[in-house]
Amino acid sequence: MQKLSFLLTFCLISFFSYTQEIKESTFKSEIQEVTVFLSGAQVFETSSGQISAGESFILIKGLSPYVDEKSIQVKGMGDFTIQAVNKRLDYLSEQKTGEKVKTLQDSILAIQRNQSIEMARLEVLKEKSSLLNANKNIGGTQNGASLTELKQAMDFYDAELMKIKTEELKIQANLQKENEEMNRLSNQIAAMQESANESTSEIRIRVKAERAGSATLEINYLVANAGWYPKYDVRVKDVSSPLSLTYKAEVYQNTGVDWKDVKLRFSNGNPNQGGQIPDLEKWELNFARLTTFNPRSQNFGSVSGKVVDAMNGEGIPGATVMVRGTTIGTVTDIDGNYSLTLPSGASQLSVSFIGYQPRDIAINSSRVNISLQEDTMALEEIVVVGYGTQNKKALEGKVSGVKIRGTSSLNSSPAQALETSVVENQTTVEIEVAEPYSIKSNGEKTLVDLKNYQVDASYSYSVVPKLDNDAFLIAEIADWSQYSLLEGESNLYFEDGFVGRSILNGSSLQDTLEISMGRDRSIVIQRDKNDEFSKKRAIGSNITESREYVITVKNNKSQAVTLNVEDQIPVSVNSDISVEALNLSGGKLDANTGIMTWTITLQPGAQQELKFQYEVKYPKREKVILD
């Protein structure tokens, strides 16, 4: 009897639990705004719908699988209470193949139709060649052909067969190119369809309402695999004109969700960077022989290379490559290639991509190829859902180039610049773009023009002939902090021509910002050692060596120029070695660094010589290296 009562009670509890199951309703949600950080982005969405009386769940589906659950914030407007918010991955949401995939499929079909025609033409050429070979007997088998007929026949066969072979080779070359193109398109389609079949995430919001009614939600969260890099175009018409500075954002996003007609803000903040103040550790001083020094890194000026999969050696498109400790970075192209201009002191690159272990690598050459290992934890993430477990493979994006918005053709009027505004917060600076923008989740680099400044600048030339015989045009901007610039790569244009790339050092502490505008080969520099003065002689127990160098500067430009010339003499760090500066041709010497500077003005066609001499004394038993 007791067992029967227990069974009846259990059934009643199960029945009432089943009948009182919390209802779920799915709200449609749209992305309204995105704040893009140097690494990561904050997405702002709005959603609305109807809720039932009592407790219920509101589901916001179709979100990026890379949402940071700890960052989710929900604000509700209506007669209800939010009880809990959590995120889970949704593997059942169907995602349709996009228009881009269909376009690629149509391209493959067009290539295949063209190949059918080319294959048919090859068959015709083969039959034509067989027909010629079958009828190459001249004059029959009984009567021989004359020499004239033989020559005419040979010329005919030579010309016809050559035409056939030439056309066959051309068709075969086209077929090979078309096969390569189809393979590339197929790989891209496979990757896009693979990422389209991946899971999305959903936010589950548990609410309680006294009565049924409408509800409006404002949701924001951080999402990974997005960011931006500052880029600049620096244009100078001539040294008597203001400098034109175009501030750009190179945006990328591989979040799995397209940003369609959203308001964009670009922030110089990085929420992934720790906010904890560092602690000084004890500085233990020891003898030099027991102390390890890090070697000085070599500055290569620029670095390029390829990011590949360590397993198969294939290029990884859409990987982020950054100069460690800076805001300078880029995204690899469709073949996995990258190229970066390096700031002074750059020593390491930080490389990352979805589904791979991030890696820091030393810059020990101007070409650095990088291989990434798959992150097995990310590739085989197990997620428990209401209907079982699922395996999640990391979303992989594809890059198909760089899209630039706001440009125009050469024959049309200039495109109107985007309207932006700068908002200075307590710890960050944000640039808001007034016009709605769309950025697809495919890893493409999209350049967004943020600001254009016409800046008053003064111009001079800098020359370091010991290291480089070219003169570098330097633009100096005073009071530059008002422009809220970050350190980034800059494209340089002088006199309507592209002259190279440089680094705009927005992190400089100087009151005047110096921008290198590249080389000007109209100024000729030569540095020579004067062997007549360069001597070595013994005096008592010491050796005395003397050196003289002559720097010749000539101005081949049509206007006067001002040049800052730098050179150096050695600085002794040993009491047994003495260095004495002799004739410096009016140059200023910094005794601590040994660096000499001259500031000269040259009229058009003028030439000037700068000489400097120094003397080094050291013990006979030792050697020093001066050349």
pLDDT computed for residue 127 by the predictor: 80
pLDDT computed for residue 549 by the predictor: 94
The CATH number fitting domain 22-95+198-223, selected from 2.60.120, 2.60.40, 3.40.50, 2.40.128: 2.60.120
| Tens-digit pLDDT profile for residues 153-169 | 777 777 888 888 888 88
- For residues 76 and 240, is the Cβ–Cβ distance under 8 A? no
**Using the 8-state DSSP alphabet, how is residue 603 labeled?**
-
CA angle, residues 225, 230, 236, in degrees to nearest 5: 155
pLDDT computed for residue 65 by the predictor: 86
Q: How many residues does the chain have?
A: 627
Per-residue pLDDT for 453 more than 80?
Answer: yes
Q: Above pLDDT 90, what percent of the chain?
A: 22
- For residues 34 and 265, is the Cβ–Cβ distance under 8 A? yes
Looking at every residue in the chain, the average pLDDT score rounds to: 79
Strand order through the sheet with 348-352: 329-331, 320-323, 348-352, 359-362
pLDDT computed for residue 144 by the predictor: 55
pLDDT computed for residue 608 by the predictor: 94
Backbone phi, psi, residue 565, to 5°? -105, 135
When mean pLDDT is compared across 34-48, 353-367, 389-403, 413-427, the lowest value belongs to 389-403
Residue 250, C-beta contacts closer than 8 angstroms, at least 6 positions apart? 228, 229, 230, 231, 330, 331, 445, 446, 447
Chain-centroid distance of CA 209 in Å reads 49
Rounded Cα distance, 254 and 442, in Å: 6
Per-residue pLDDT for 362 more than 50?
Answer: yes
Query: H or E segment at 310?
Result: none
Per-residue pLDDT for 38 more than 80?
Answer: yes
- Section 362-375 average pLDDT: 88
pLDDT computed for residue 402 by the predictor: 35
Q: Identify the band that residue 141 occupies on the pLDDT scale cut at 50, 70 and 90.
A: very low
pLDDT computed for residue 9 by the predictor: 52
Q: Identify the band that residue 409 occupies on the pLDDT scale cut at 50, 70 and 90.
A: very low
| Tens-digit pLDDT profile for residues 528-585 | 999 888 888 888 889 999 999 999 999 998 888 899 999 999 998 888 899 999 989 9
- Section 434-439 average pLDDT: 86
Q: Identify the band that residue 403 occupies on the pLDDT scale cut at 50, 70 and 90.
A: very low
Higher-pLDDT residue of 401 and 615 is: 615
| Tens-digit pLDDT profile for residues 253-304 | 888 889 999 999 888 887 766 555 666 667 766 656 665 655 545 566 788 8
- Section 213-218 average pLDDT: 91
Are both 22-95+198-223 and 523-619 of the same fold?
no
Question: pTM for the full model?
Answer: 0.58
Higher-pLDDT residue of 55 and 99 is: 55
Per-residue pLDDT for 442 more than 50?
Answer: yes
Domain ranges across the chain: 22-95+198-223, 99-196, 523-619
Rounded Cα distance, 477 and 599, in Å: 19
Closest CA to 462 of 352, 326, 564, 570: 564
The CATH number fitting domain 523-619, selected from 3.30.450, 2.30.30, 2.60.40, 1.10.3470: 2.60.40
Token pair of 202 as six digits: 């959903």
When mean pLDDT is compared across 208-217, 458-467, 511-520, the lowest value belongs to 511-520
Sign of the torsion formed by the C-alpha atoms of 207, 209, 213 and 214:
negative
- For residues 45 and 257, is the Cβ–Cβ distance under 8 A? no
| Tens-digit pLDDT profile for residues 483-501 | 778 888 888 888 878 888 8
Residue 466, C-beta contacts closer than 8 angstroms, at least 6 positions apart? 527, 567, 568
Token pair of 276 as six digits: 């904890």
Closest CA to 397 of 330, 321, 319, 338: 319
Residue 201, C-beta contacts closer than 8 angstroms, at least 6 positions apart? 63, 64, 65, 67, 87, 88, 89, 90
pLDDT computed for residue 617 by the predictor: 92
pLDDT computed for residue 415 by the predictor: 41
Per-residue pLDDT for 139 more than 70?
Answer: no
Q: Identify the band that residue 7 occupies on the pLDDT scale cut at 50, 70 and 90.
A: low
When mean pLDDT is compared across 49-53, 103-107, 249-253, 595-599, the lowest value belongs to 103-107
Rounded Cα distance, 123 and 116, in Å: 11
| Tens-digit pLDDT profile for residues 538-551 | 888 899 999 999 99
Per-residue pLDDT for 405 more than 50?
Answer: no
pLDDT computed for residue 610 by the predictor: 94
pLDDT computed for residue 350 by the predictor: 92
Closest CA to 239 of 417, 550, 474: 474
